């Protein structure tokens, strides 16, 4: 048994899908107790505002970024989103147009969303994105290697990407809609954290089903155990299909119940979304808002 298999085997995180579903149901049942303007504002501030369209261009991404600038002037009482997330080739566009202090430049890189190319190409993509101004880099865990149990090569690649990202945050996307089971999500979470990911993220939102409450619960349990064993805090990011305030509140509740209030800050909690921003603003304003 190699060190990666040993790390997975030594974990006590639950693998029973029925138990996970039961525990999640208990948390979701009381999630509404956290509903408040303060929590809604926090959810808005935790959003990685995302545009990942095949039709994205320098002009459209600049316009998207300027909308974040405009919001800062139009709704100063709500603060700002955590980051603007774009394809890696648009990092410099966001950096050049973004005027709001505290909003990070985030990119998806490493042959997103499939992660199917040469490691050298992934490394070059991450390096170029960071050089262009990316402060956060989201990469996809190579699912083929994971399915084959080729943990050594998988981790070697992720570790190289971690080093290439330098001071930028590295978020590793597990693609939980493909992994499906608690056991697989647990194993992928452990491997990503072993490779010093700063965040583990549910999904790309492109190929497989997106974020789920059950995946969130398992990932947070893994983060908790990892912190207890190492003292290093890893963040959680939900992405893929999170569109309503109620759904975002459910993820907030799971993180709060499993990891505690220590994780309720934008250094450790994110939601990758586009339409969610308008939904949360609507909840805050009490009338429909379509700003982004």
Active site (annotated) includes residue 138? yes
Helix (H) or strand (E) holding 201: strand 199-201
8 A C-beta contact, residue 104 and residue 136? yes
The catalytically annotated residue of 125, 198, 237, 247 is 237
- CA–CA dist 4, 23 (Å, integer): 28
The dihedrals phi and psi of 232, each to the nearest 5 degrees, come to -105, 130
Distance between start and end Cα atoms, the chain:
50
Structure tokens at 198: 């700063």
- CA–CA dist 17, 24 (Å, integer): 10
- CA–CA dist 43, 24 (Å, integer): 20
Nearest-10 crossing angle of helices 151-164, 182-194 = 50
Active site (annotated) includes residue 237? yes
- CA–CA dist 284, 278 (Å, integer): 10
The catalytically annotated residue of 48, 104, 125, 138 is 138
Calculate ∠ Cα 237-241-244, nearest 5°. 95
The dihedrals phi and psi of 11, each to the nearest 5 degrees, come to -75, 145
Structure tokens at 148: 């084959």
Owner of token pair 């960071």: 130
The catalytically annotated residue of 122, 171, 186, 201 is 201
8 A C-beta contact, residue 86 and residue 94? yes
Structure tokens at 221: 């349990």
Catalytic residues: 138, 201, 237
């Amino acid at each position: 048994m190699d060190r990666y298999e040993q790390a997975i085997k030594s974990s006590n995180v639950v693998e029973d899908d029925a138990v996970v579903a039961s525990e999640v149901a208990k948390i979701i049942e009381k999630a509404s107790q956290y509903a408040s303007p303060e929590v809604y504002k926090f959810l808005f501030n935790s959003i990685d505002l995302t545009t990942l369209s095949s039709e994205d261009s320098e002009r459209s991404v600049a316009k998207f970024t300027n909308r974040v600038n405009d919001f800062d002037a139009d709704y100063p009482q709500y603060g700002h989103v955590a980051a603007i997330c774009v394809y890696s080739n648009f990092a410099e566009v966001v950096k050049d147009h973004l005027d709001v202090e505290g909003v990070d430049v985030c990119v998806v890189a490493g042959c997103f969303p499939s992660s199917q190319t040469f490691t050298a190409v992934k490394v070059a993509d991450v390096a170029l994105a960071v050089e262009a101004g990316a402060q956060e880099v989201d990469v996809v865990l190579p699912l083929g290697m994971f399915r084959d149990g080729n943990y050594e090569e998988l981790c070697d690649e992720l570790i190289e990407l971690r080093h290439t990202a330098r001071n930028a945050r590295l978020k590793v996307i597990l693609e939980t809609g493909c992994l499906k089971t608690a056991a697989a999500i647990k194993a992928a979470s452990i491997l990503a954290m072993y490779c010093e990911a700063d965040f583990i993220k549910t999904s790309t939102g492109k190929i497989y089903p997106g974020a789920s409450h059950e995946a969130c619960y398992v990932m947070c349990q893994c983060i908790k155990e990892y912190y207890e064993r190492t003292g290093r805090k890893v963040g959680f990011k939900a992405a893929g299909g999170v569109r309503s305030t109620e759904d975002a509140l459910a993820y907030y509740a799971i993180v709060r119940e499993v990891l505690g209030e220590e994780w309720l800050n934008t250094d450790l909690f994110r939601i990758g979304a586009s339409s969610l921003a308008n939904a949360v603003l609507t909840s805050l304003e009490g009338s429909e808002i379509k700003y982004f």
